Structure 1
Amino acid sequence: MTSFEELGLSAATLKAIAELGYEEPTPIQARTIRRMLDGADVIAQAQTGTGKTAAFALPIIERLDTRSHHPQALVLTPTRELAVQVAEAFQAYGKYHQIAILPVYGGQPIERQLRALSRGVQVVVGTPGRLLDHIRRGTLALDQVRTVVLDEADEMLDMGFIEDIEAILQETPSERQTALFSATMPQPIVDLARRYLRDPERIIVQTEQMTVPQIRQVYYEVGGRDKFEVLARVLDYESPSSAIIFCRTKSEVDALGQRLTARAFPAETLHGDMTQVQRDRVMARFRSGQAELLVATDVAARGLDVEHVSHVINYDIPLDPEIYVHRIGRTGRAGRSGTAITLVTPRERRLLKLIERSTGAPIQRLRVPTIADVIARRRESFKETLRETIAAGGLEPYVSIAEDLGEEYSPTDLAAAAFKLLLGEPPEDAEDLLAEQEPDTTEEEGGRRPRRRREQSFGPERGMTRLYLDVGRNDGVRPADIVGAIANEANIPGRAVGAIELFEHFSFVEVPSNLAERVVRALKRTTIRGRPIAPSLARPRRATGGARSGERR
């Protein structure tokens, strides 16, 4: 079995693809990378989802001259969505190479593209129409291009781009390297290859459909800014017994772990920068159930064998269908049922469709749960717990209490009072709570701004309510800044502010319960150290969770 190391890739590239969770090259990668590194022209016939983007992107990155700021590689794609996807893949693969990549497509302000081109880029990925526009304007010079890639050539043929492609190829040096990727090879594509490729190597990969476990697969479409709010709402609704949440990078893992902990979700983080002792400690807490959530990168999750994972959540959708299959295989093990949830932004729809085609398994779209949905689900869960408790028996010590009170009150009133003690009083403004604005799940980017959720909160001290603020030590915030903002904006005495806990990316502050709503409204209109505060009522801590230690006032 060929490895990425055996293909001759540099240490910087190997590090980047290892962080993305790539373990071994796919057949199209193993056969194409070597030939392109040698400078050969290539005709690769392979279905979408076989890893062909990495097959041409990796050798291009290896051969770039980072000292030059002129376009050295040009990738033509049929759609703007694919152009963005390919550009993002180049960014991920070239993370440690200090290269500049520019996606060029219609529907985006051309001034932004002009500024990027004037600064200098090494790789241009674009649709034929917009590329020709830049060529005719004189804003894109292709005289130093070494490699041209025609991605999904058959689709570009179907869209009527063949003439545009030929016009673009004629602007590039004749001694360039050309790679053509196509799922099918209709005659016009064969003719195009005959005219513009030099003694190309023909690579044909027969694709076997990837299989996925028989588990429930769903996705939520969200606005990019709302991703965390939707995740928190879904976790409240699903109440997973244990879940692995996948992010693409180590920094995203740390940031998400901190935000979840701030909301009192019992979460642990796992990534490649941790020592073996730290990893063992985290896994021990996850396996024992002390931590219900494990936030991890693909690399850190390799080889994990945890049978009781009820949910896998793709906080960041993977760039490769094989990684998706690898991730969701962590749930539904040993004959158990499992759920795979993916959060998808509008620009990532193409990636989702690619995964569906590659696996042959439909992924159901769901509506983001409302607060009313969460409350209803909790009530049903509580009723089921009661049924299980009654069936388990052992109620004798409590029967005498029920019988004594039964002489004064009806069974229904007794049960309702017990439920009230266990579940807490419903908020007085329940109608307002249920009508609270939901996270943005708009179909298009640039839709509504993220909307904050409110949750019932219980202060750690009688008469006090704990607030969550989306600023922390890394923003230069001090306790005095928080006290000053509350006193000035909410017009309450600074001495009325209770304990303040400062963490790296967020803070907690206690305020009098009767003034909490006034403080939240006031802080939404101001900033601290130039940063929006985004206040909200803090989620009550769980017995197994709790925020990590921070500076306390």
Structure 2
Amino acid sequence: MSAHTPSKPASPTFAELGVAEEICEALAAQGITRTFAIQELTLPLALDGIDLIGQARTGMGKTLGFGVPLLDRVFDAADVEELDGTPRALVVVPTRELAVQVGEDLARAAGRLPLRLTTIYGGRPYEEQIEALEAGVDVVVGTPGRVIDLHQRGDLRLDRVAILVLDEADEMLDLGFLPDIEKLLTALEHKHQTMLFSATMPGPIITLARSFLQQPVHIRAEEVGASHTHATTNQVVFQAHRMDKAAITARILQAQGRGRTIIFARTKRTAADVATELAGRGFSVGSVHGDMGQPAREKSLAAFRDGTIDILVATDVAARGIDIDDVTHVINYQTPDDPMTYVHRIGRTGRAGHSGTAVTLVGYDELSKWKMINEELGLDTPEPPQWFSTSPEFFSALSIPEGAQDSVAKPRRVFGGPAAAVHSRSPRPPRGKSRR
């Protein structure tokens, strides 16, 4: 008699957890009916107005974990004052790109609820954001600096805010926003619900939570000591010669099953150069980095989301707002500076149950940096193999067809940028190394 392995019980639906019918319908229209772990754990508490700390890695569904109960409560909770055009909920996030993404996600989840949402962040004119606030708004999503500015100018009222969400709190700490957050929390002196979400819990964030949250429930969406990285992400790490990285990347972009892809560079200049190089090889590519104006960055991200381009070259700060579930590949063109940057980068793929591939190209001068990441995260690859754009092992590890070339089409322009230069033959790998 064959042994029977019990199947894992299905997670509850949003409707089963008591979420408003209008929100359930809006989510179902997007193909979302059942909850992920962080949502299943968060919703019953958040819907009751309880303060909580949600801890889960990027890509685990945190946005709907706080967004659904926030919308539900603003719409129909007895302890939230009737809507009068002043904000009832405020979501604070670390970057402009994440503000845009969270704002769009909440708008989609709200569906036909009669709620007014607006997003405020730097890099855009004050006037248009002030006009939106004056016209009346129920839910505000914003970055710390612009939220504080508009509040201090008297344009953003916080005295009726019933729900405050601090998303990606550890990122806000890394970016130096903690004093702004403390200032904001001090301004909210009246009784309100606070939800704090963070992938990690460094000391200053724990202190912040203890100071400003009322008996918060700490929710973890994974076991204590769980891996920092998604089990659904295949991590491929190898040493690559600096002069061969462009050809290597071009071949990875021809791998079987390759869909939306994010390529990470450490500096703004490298991000721009890599995007130009790939466009010159015929790839459909855009970039997001600090030398670009905010409208241009938003245009590139929108093109990446809607499929106009399928490759995005980004720096770390710019990419923190990219919250897309179906990124198949992440390429670390340059080795990250520290372990948590590595975790955040590769967390852009293998999200929400999808599988993904994260490739790290370790330059010969980056090996010590990689060893630190490897040791901290327990990745068991202290000495990555040396592969070239012609190495059979490289082709095999990433399912690259034998006929993959340096270029795939005529030179293009980087999306939204200048015309691409005609690609010239890439340099040969250094002599004395096998090209087999």
TM-score, normalized by length of structure 1?
0.44
Letter in 2 for 1:123: V
In the TM superposition, what is the alpha-carbon distance from 1:441 to its structure 2 partner? 4.0
SS in 1 for 2:195: strand
Give yes or no for contact 2:121–2:147 (8 Å, CA) kept in 1.
yes
Cα distance in structure 1, aligned partners of 2:40 and 2:31: 17
From 12, 25, 31, the counterpart of 2:41: 31
Cα distance in structure 2, aligned partners of 1:172 and 1:232: 42
1:79 aligned residue: 95
Report 1:173-252 matches (<5 A). 173-206=189-222, 209=230, 211=232, 215-219=256-260, 220-221=284-285
Alignment pair present for 1:52 and 2:73: no
**Using a 3 Å threshold, how does the CA distance of structure 1 residues 174 and 233 change in structure 2: closer, same or farther?**
closer
In the TM superposition, what is the alpha-carbon distance from 1:354 to its structure 2 partner? 4.8
Give yes or no for contact 1:146–1:173 (8 Å, CA) kept in 2.
no
Which 4+ residue blocks in structure 1 deviate beyond 4 angstroms? 212-215, 222-228, 230-234, 351-354
Q: 5+ residue gaps in structure 2?
A: 1-10, 76-81, 235-254, 261-283, 287-298, 311-321, 330-343, 361-408, 420-436
1:361 aligned residue: 357
SS in 1 for 2:218: strand
Cα distance in structure 2, aligned partners of 1:99 and 1:353: 35
From 113, 120, 125, the counterpart of 1:109: 125
1:377 aligned residue: none
Letter in 2 for 1:216: G
SS in 2 for 1:202: strand
Letter in 2 for 1:125: V
- Per-residue CA deviations over 1:238-291 (Å, capped at 9, x if unaligned) read xxxxxxxxxxxxxxxxxxxxxxxxxxxxxxxxxxxxxxxxxxxxxxxxxxxxxx
SS in 1 for 2:49: coil
1:497 aligned residue: none
SS in 2 for 1:98: coil
Cα distance in structure 1, aligned partners of 2:103 and 2:110: 10
- Per-residue CA deviations over 1:277-321 (Å, capped at 9, x if unaligned) read xxxxxxxxxxxxxxxxxxxxxxxxxxxxxxxxxxxxxxxxx9652
Give yes or no for contact 2:24–2:33 (8 Å, CA) kept in 1.
no
Cα distance in structure 2, aligned partners of 1:363 and 1:147: 40
In the TM superposition, what is the alpha-carbon distance from 1:137 to its structure 2 partner? 0.7
Give yes or no for contact 2:43–2:66 (8 Å, CA) kept in 1.
yes
Give yes or no for contact 1:217–1:363 (8 Å, CA) kept in 2.
no
1:18 aligned residue: 28
SS in 2 for 1:155: helix
Rg larger for: 1
SS in 1 for 2:357: coil
RMSD after superposition: 3.6
SS in 1 for 2:190: coil
In the TM superposition, what is the alpha-carbon distance from 1:11 to its structure 2 partner? 1.2
Cα distance in structure 2, aligned partners of 1:133 and 1:216: 46
2:187 aligned residue: 171
SS in 2 for 1:91: helix
Q: 5+ residue gaps in structure 1?
A: 235-317, 329-338, 340-350, 365-433, 449-553
Letter in 1 for 2:202: P
- Per-residue CA deviations over 1:318-338 (Å, capped at 9, x if unaligned) read 9652xx38xx8xxxxxxxxxx
Give yes or no for contact 2:83–2:138 (8 Å, CA) kept in 1.
no
Cα distance in structure 1, aligned partners of 2:196 and 2:308: 44
**Using a 3 Å threshold, how does the CA distance of structure 1 residues 120 and 130 change in structure 2: closer, same or farther?**
same
Cα distance in structure 2, aligned partners of 1:49 and 1:192: 24
2:146 aligned residue: 130
- Larger relative CO (CA 8 A, sep 6+): 1 or 2? 2
Alignment pair present for 1:154 and 2:177: no
